[in-house]
Structure 1
Amino acid sequence: MDSLDRFKVPIEKLRKICECSRELGSCGSSGDTPSYEGVIGQDRAVESMHFGLSMDIPGYNIFVVGQHGTGRSTYTHTILQQAAMKRPAPKDWCYVNNFLDKDRPVAVSLPAGQGKSFQKDMDILIEELRTSMPKAFEQGAYEQKRDAIVRNLQETMESLYGSVEEEAEREGFTMKQVPPRFVFIPVKDGVPMPQDQYEKLTSQERAVLDEKGRRLMKRLDESMRQGQELERQAREEMTELERQVAMSAAAQRVGILKAKYADVPKIVEYLFMVLKDVVDNYNLFRAGEAPKAPETPQAMQGFKEETDPFVKYKVNLFVNNERCKGAPVIIESNPNYYNLFGKLEYRSHMLSVSTDFTMLRAGAIHRANGGYLVVQAKDILTDPYVWEALKKALKYRQTAVENIGEQYRLIPAGSLRPEPLPLDLKIVVISNPQLYYLLYTLDDDFQRLFKVKVDFDVDMPRTPANICQYADFISATCSKDLLLPFGRDAVAKVIEYGSRLAGNQNKLSTRFNEVTEIIYEAASFAKADKVQEVSASHVDTAVRHKKYRAGILEEKIQEHILKGKMLIRTEGTEVGQINGLSVISTGGNMFGMPSRITARTYSGRGGIINIERETQMSGQIHTKGVLTLSGYLGGKFAQKKPLGFTAQITFEQSYEGVDGDSASSTELYAILSSLSGIPLRQDIAVTGSVDQRGKVQPIGGATEKIEGFFDICASRGLTGTQGVMIPIQNIDDLMLKDEVLDAVKNGKFAIYAVKDIEEGIEILTGMPAGELKEDGIYPDGTVFHAAERRLHEFGKALEPPHIPGMKNDMRRRNRR
């Protein structure tokens, strides 16, 4: 038995195969499993969501956190629809004219469905008044009273002017109208006196006539003033008569609406104001036209805008919940400011704009009032105005329609200020974890307004119950989209694919968007084969094709390696050189890539020099991993004397940044090889992090890293000695493809698992690492002994040169 066999991972641990008969149990094929409804493997998220929905206290809004594809959006929409059906439909909201202040429209709420009825009732009322009002003024009673007022005025006026005329005659004058006034002319022998005859009179006679004329004119002025007062009184009587007619025509119809909406005090008050305004403006209904506006200048005749004089009596049905069966669930896919918070529209006409309360438009937050509003965090944070406005609405539990431009005008302009609507809704924000933690850390209001976190995990335990749910999900997808049913072996393959996505044999991925893609594509390949059921081979084909479509970069890198443009050895040994493994993720494809890591050691006091760090190509985690190596080497070789060496390490042919500490153990092996002069195997690639005590720590992407090195070896031809060394903790993360399993089974490839550096160096060199003896020296024939010997040589090289007599000269100098 090979001495290294104890480090090899058994083939049964390289992938957890789903056994149809045992693991699927009664789940069967997708054709006979029940359809699954709900969310799989998210018990914590489900419980959190139910808690959040049960809390009707302000501030308990919900933040759904999870990676894309975990079912967070679908589940949120489904559970909200279910919760909404248990709640009553919210009230309708209308905006009506404020007759006391037209710039501040009044908000009125009615039970669901009555808003449209109220709007229609007001339209009918105005139409009826426009028809009935003119008829009321055509009735005989009105005409008789109107004629009586006019006749009485005429008679009184005639009496007033008749008395003045009689007095004038008595005084020898005649009263004649010379527009725009009356004049008194002296009469002689029954004939008005000509002007020349008047001038022949003596001054005393003219003075007498002039005095009489002044008295008559004064009398006429008094009569005219009395006449004007009588006309005013007559107009008031006429106006009062017309108001009474208008009131009799409108009061009954308005009274009917008051009775209908008696349980809504705001509407009763509004109808009282409507009736008052109708009576005050009865001429508008009597003539069917608006009062004449001031004359428009000739130059602006072409720009005159026709307006509806009856618009002030209309009802703006702002939010209509007539069709709501339960509370509303509004999913706003484009939550910009106006879509969320509504807007006031303007009517453009030539060179001017105008607006009124009927042009107020509701936003998603108004339509969701009384229910639930769902938005994406990245969308509401993209618009610079939305987040603060949303917080303000939640904080004060009310929202008003306000255009953004009004907040940033240099000069305040007149605009409508509608009455704010009270808010009673729950906001559900869907986000990735990064945005959630960013807001939680930086926004002081966030924790107070979003108290419920619904956290969706990217994986779940691979339990029998969850496996059955996976099978049910496959069945539901096939049934919903009319796909071919999946056989039991195909279901098993999809479950194995779920574990591969999760990166763990004991987990299943909850990124169901990727699982669904494989279901669709496997069904498509089965349909092309004209079979009645999807088999495991179709699932394998779908997985290979998916990888192939996104694998152009992976193929280019492998091509460069195989052509020798990237120097990666897969055979032989080399001092201070080792194959490390990294993972690259691009365009939906994650693959492993070998990297050549080299180390050069020499005498000096520079310690470990990370070339990537010196050239600013190293990430913080990679830099930390390299600095950790100093702790390990100091613990092993510098307990009695300082380390006197310099080691330079680098990723060869790496022209981009390097990050992560998964290569720290690999770098340490290269340094130990360079120090000891013992070559490392080039047919084994290595991955694993390391701590200062030499314990190898788990890393991510173990499956992809192994397959990446295997593909290079397989392309060059498997020798039977090649393999990959991983941390022992990563064994249960392996979900390797069939090609790797076949190679391991046939002894052509091996997977080694180690728990510390000592085990790893033994695999790579074929020599034991060495344990420190009681005398503080590593045994001969070990890697650490060779390394320590080289470090001792470096230390001696750093000692100052010995010059004869120097010590005695130094003593004499010290005595002096």
Structure 2
Amino acid sequence: MIKELSYKDARGTLSGMQFNCDSSADLFPLAEIIGQDRALRALQFGLKIESKGFNIFISGMPGTGRKTAIIGYLEEVAKERPIPYDWCYVYNFKDPKKPNALSLKAGSGSVFKKDMELFVTEMKRTLSVAFESDEYSRRRGETLKVIEAERDQVTKHVNTLAGKAGFLLQRSPIGLMLIPIQEGRPINEQEFAQLTPQLQSQIQKRREALEVELRVPLKQFRNIEGKMVNAIKELNRSAATFSLEPISSALKEKFRDSDEVVEYIKHVEEDVLDNLQTILQGNTPKQSQLPFQMPGARKDPAERYVVNLVVDNSELKGAPVVMELNPTYSRLFGAIEKEARFGAVVTDYTMIRGGSAHRANGGYLMVPVEGLFANPLIYESLKRAISNEKLEIEEPMVSLGFMLTGTLSPEPIPFRTKVVIVGDPQVYQLLFARDREFKELFKVKADFDTTMEKNKENIEKYAQFICTLCNKEDLCHLDSDGIAAVIEYSSRLAADKNKLSTQFASVSDIIREAHFYAREDGVEFMGRKHINKALNEKVYRSNLIEKKIDEMISMDVIQIDTHGDKVGQVNGLAVLNLGDYGFGKPSRITASIGVGREGIIDIERESQMGGQTHTKGVLILSGYLNSKYAREKPLSLTARLAFEQSYSGVDGDSASSTELYAILSALSGKPIKQHIAVTGSVNQKGEVQAIGGVNEKVEGFYEVCKSKGLIGNEGCMIPYSNVQNLMLKEELVTDIKEGRFHIWPVKTIDQGVEVLTGIDAGKFQPNGSYPEGTIHQIVQDRLDEMAELIKEFKL
């Protein structure tokens, strides 16, 4: 017979004595990523390689600490990297709809922005002083005096000609006017209309003759006025240039290392000189405003000298590390904001806003993959930015090919960023298979494992992780037994007593909950009892359905036998997952046998309640029966398998060995012990294979046995290869130790049959038969009888 499992093999335990500390407070905080050597190596490679397309996809299950660990690691790496440039947008004097992007050394952007504000203030003050000075008035007077003398001479000549012709030359807002003189005084239009036609005709002829005579002198007059305007403009430009030169030269000298900034300052100087009149008017309080203005018209023309700083790296100590948890289009790539002015929606370059990609430029950008697909534009725009190596701030509709009026097209900014996407393995596989560009742009995969080896080094690091969490969140520290309990829970999460889980989020939550109970107890340190209470309370909050099922089993509403023997009936085990909680549930599996040629009929499949994996497991049973009993004669049976009282569908092959035991029992007529529940898949060679959820399955049957009355012979039969996965709860381990519950690990169907029936399975002999009285011999004889019946009745 198969040896029962020792209680020592039912759970991997740790003693607090093996930690060289009284509590986690005595340990050093953890400063590294643990248990992820493969991912860390890939990450190091991806961050160091400079070639295009070697961006990184962090693959792993949620809760493994991917984001937190990677951010911490990136921040350490970034400290050794150079601080990237600041970026700002400025007015484009050639094409205002296409603002220019300027780059400056880190920290210089805010300085330049402030200096330009000071420049505008000082410019206005300097110009105001210059144009209100006595020196300017003197030079203006001297300039005008010469030109006005020339103008007066021409004016006198024109007036003389007009007077001789009987006209008065008068200036009006629309030009010069010739007004007739009658009886020594000028007349208006009404008086002119009252004159006789003959007199009107004479006046008109004199007017025409005078206009011809005045053409040359009036042209001279206009030239002189133009000369006056140009002279004043030149004087103003000269005065402004002289006034601006000290402050503009100082600004150019300060930013002499940036050719594009110096060039921009020159453009500003030229624009100031070209728009002196407007600027000077804007510098003087106005008595009234025009009743109508163009939407978006600036009140102060000097506003276009404002610097829009979109990336400010002044406070960085290295390369930027940006984690964008909500990667909307505008948060990632920036936006061109708008505002309402005079009933119209307008924008300008000062309303350009950078996004996370701009802040991460020259460093590292990390985004969760699920956020990239909330809007199809986001993922496509990110790929385009990586591929083209430039960031474009544009309206989302423009990306779709729509033409928008009244918007801007800012100059693109070079994009030199290592992009790190965090996602599930399934998403990575989908993108790799369906998106050709993805594999060209994300060539590095860093795979985060869900488990790590349970060795001395990792156990010590796990304890340091506990110390780090308690320090960071101001939690009670754990005593040595509490640390051991947490590490045991980690092995339970890993479903392997020889491994530790990297689901640090789940482990951290248990520590936080245990802290709550420790505070209620008023103790300084958390211990094993607080960890166990946190675990038990977590289960209690979620196991209502499990308890309802156990109650129905104890009341025989769901029929499960835990005592006695039955032919063709076995207790199988399954796991029900409720999202936040999973538990084991026994199911009665029955087999009925009859003469026929239909083979094994899966009632679950026939009723369309069985999954593909379950169907495969049932088909494997036919292979086993053929190899075992159909060496000389074909199988002649009809066997029907069913999960009794199953109404929600069945999938998985973990019950295939259980179904086979039911068939062998039905064929042999030998009863199966109902106090033993069975789990395990089987192959065509009769080897029992590992299954998932072994802890939940064993504990589920244990709870059922307790509710129906534990008498001491109950237990579970599991695959031998699942022994390493056992991390059973302490109460169950205690009952195993005291002989009230049992576990039998089996490697083959033959071993399992012997445990369930107490009868030898029997080994195939050279003469082509099995030993008398064995299960296989009885089954073979029964199948031979059925074959004869088939032949006799010609079925």
* TM-score for the superposition, normalised by structure 2: 0.91
1:793 shift after superposition: 3.4
**CA offsets per residue over residues 10-34 of structure 1, 9 Å max, x none?**
232222222444xx25355434333
Contact 1:134 1:287 in 2 (8 A): no
Contact 1:184 1:217 in 2 (8 A): no
Partner AA of 2:3 in structure 1 = F
- 1:578 match: secondary structure: strand
Which of 94, 100, 111 is the aligned partner of 1:117? 111
1:141 shift after superposition: 4.0
1:562 shift after superposition: 0.8
- 1:318 match: secondary structure: strand
The separation in 1 between residues aligned to 2:279 and 2:248, in whole angstroms, is 15
1:396 shift after superposition: 1.2
The separation in 1 between residues aligned to 2:546 and 2:14, in whole angstroms, is 29
1:794 shift after superposition: 3.1
Q: Does 1:751 align with 2:743?
A: yes
Q: Residue in 2 aligned with 1:36?
A: 30
1:333 shift after superposition: 1.9
Q: Does 1:225 align with 2:247?
A: no
Which of 540, 562, 568 is the aligned partner of 1:576? 568
The separation in 2 between residues aligned to 1:536 and 1:143, in whole angstroms, is 92
Q: Residue in 1 aligned with 2:610?
A: 618
Q: Residue in 1 aligned with 2:675?
A: 683
Q: Residue in 2 aligned with 1:396?
A: 388
Q: How does 1:411-810 map to 2 (within 5 A)?
A: 411-799=403-791, 801=793
1:370 shift after superposition: 1.5
The separation in 2 between residues aligned to 1:32 and 1:439, in whole angstroms, is 46
Q: How does 1:84-163 map to 2 (within 5 A)?
A: 84-163=78-157
Contact 1:27 1:471 in 2 (8 A): no
Partner AA of 2:749 in structure 1 = I
Partner AA of 2:9 in structure 1 = K
Q: How does 1:189-228 map to 2 (within 5 A)?
A: 215-228=209-222
Q: Residue in 1 aligned with 2:51?
A: 57
The separation in 2 between residues aligned to 1:562 and 1:195, in whole angstroms, is 123
The separation in 2 between residues aligned to 1:384 and 1:284, in whole angstroms, is 47
**CA offsets per residue over residues 293-347 of structure 1, 9 Å max, x none?**
x997x7x789897644222111101111111111111121211111010000001
Instruction: Identify if the C-alpha distance between structure 1 residues 200 and 691 changes in structure 2 by more than 3 Å, giving closer, same or farther.
Output: closer
The separation in 2 between residues aligned to 1:152 and 1:776, in whole angstroms, is 136
The separation in 1 between residues aligned to 2:205 and 2:340, in whole angstroms, is 67
Q: Residue in 1 aligned with 2:241?
A: 247
**CA offsets per residue over residues 34-67 of structure 1, 9 Å max, x none?**
3333222222222222222222332222222222
**CA offsets per residue over residues 688-746 of structure 1, 9 Å max, x none?**
01001111111111122111111111222222322111111111211222332232233
Q: Residue in 2 aligned with 1:16?
A: 12
- 1:64 match: secondary structure: strand
Contact 1:721 1:748 in 2 (8 A): yes
**CA offsets per residue over residues 538-590 of structure 1, 9 Å max, x none?**
33323222222221121111111111111111011212111101112224322
Larger deviation, residues 593-602 vs 353-362: 593-602
Contact 1:597 1:649 in 2 (8 A): yes
Partner AA of 2:434 in structure 1 = L
1:199 shift after superposition: 9.5
**CA offsets per residue over residues 608-662 of structure 1, 9 Å max, x none?**
2212222222222111111111111111122222222222212111111221111
Which of 163, 178, 182 is the aligned partner of 1:182? 178
Q: Residue in 1 aligned with 2:187?
A: none
1:517 shift after superposition: 2.8
Q: Residue in 1 aligned with 2:256?
A: 262
Instruction: Identify if the C-alpha distance between structure 1 residues 311 and 519 changes in structure 2 by more than 3 Å, giving closer, same or farther.
Output: same
Instruction: Identify if the C-alpha distance between structure 1 residues 576 and 154 changes in structure 2 by more than 3 Å, giving closer, same or farther.
Output: same
The separation in 1 between residues aligned to 2:320 and 2:30, in whole angstroms, is 26
Partner AA of 1:544 in structure 2 = N
Partner AA of 1:438 in structure 2 = L
Instruction: Identify if the C-alpha distance between structure 1 residues 472 and 182 changes in structure 2 by more than 3 Å, giving closer, same or farther.
Output: closer
1:594 shift after superposition: 0.5
Q: How does 1:313-324 map to 2 (within 5 A)?
A: 313-324=305-316
Q: How does 1:370-381 map to 2 (within 5 A)?
A: 370-381=362-373
The separation in 1 between residues aligned to 2:122 and 2:90, in whole angstroms, is 19
1:196 shift after superposition: 13
The separation in 2 between residues aligned to 1:653 and 1:448, in whole angstroms, is 52
- 1:497 match: secondary structure: helix
Instruction: Identify if the C-alpha distance between structure 1 residues 475 and 411 changes in structure 2 by more than 3 Å, giving closer, same or farther.
Output: closer
* TM-score for the superposition, normalised by structure 1: 0.89
**CA offsets per residue over residues 209-234 of structure 1, 9 Å max, x none?**
99887654421233222222222222
Instruction: Identify if the C-alpha distance between structure 1 residues 468 and 280 changes in structure 2 by more than 3 Å, giving closer, same or farther.
Output: same
Q: Residue in 2 aligned with 1:191?
A: none
Instruction: Identify if the C-alpha distance between structure 1 residues 502 and 168 changes in structure 2 by more than 3 Å, giving closer, same or farther.
Output: closer
Instruction: Identify if the C-alpha distance between structure 1 residues 468 and 630 changes in structure 2 by more than 3 Å, giving closer, same or farther.
Output: same
- 1:160 match: secondary structure: helix
Partner AA of 1:80 in structure 2 = L
1:184 shift after superposition: 7.2
1:164 shift after superposition: 5.1
- 1:609 match: secondary structure: strand
Which of 65, 71, 76 is the aligned partner of 1:77? 71
The separation in 2 between residues aligned to 1:301 and 1:195, in whole angstroms, is 41
1:761 shift after superposition: 1.2
The separation in 2 between residues aligned to 1:197 and 1:265, in whole angstroms, is 74
Instruction: Identify if the C-alpha distance between structure 1 residues 787 and 249 changes in structure 2 by more than 3 Å, giving closer, same or farther.
Output: same
> Identity over aligned residues, as a percent?
42
Instruction: Identify if the C-alpha distance between structure 1 residues 489 and 222 changes in structure 2 by more than 3 Å, giving closer, same or farther.
Output: closer
Larger deviation, residues 84-93 vs 221-230: 221-230
1:85 shift after superposition: 1.4
**The structure with more radius of gyration:** 1
The separation in 1 between residues aligned to 2:154 and 2:19, in whole angstroms, is 116
Contact 1:173 1:187 in 2 (8 A): no
Q: Residue in 2 aligned with 1:809?
A: none
Larger deviation, residues 588-597 vs 535-544: 535-544
**Structure 1, unpaired ranges of 5+:** 189-193, 804-816
1:416 shift after superposition: 0.8
Larger deviation, residues 493-502 vs 149-158: 149-158
- 2:631 match: secondary structure: coil
Q: Residue in 2 aligned with 1:810?
A: none
1:149 shift after superposition: 4.6
- 1:7 match: secondary structure: coil
The separation in 2 between residues aligned to 1:229 and 1:34, in whole angstroms, is 89
The separation in 2 between residues aligned to 1:197 and 1:690, in whole angstroms, is 128
Instruction: Identify if the C-alpha distance between structure 1 residues 232 and 783 changes in structure 2 by more than 3 Å, giving closer, same or farther.
Output: same
1:120 shift after superposition: 1.3
Instruction: Identify if the C-alpha distance between structure 1 residues 461 and 304 changes in structure 2 by more than 3 Å, giving closer, same or farther.
Output: closer
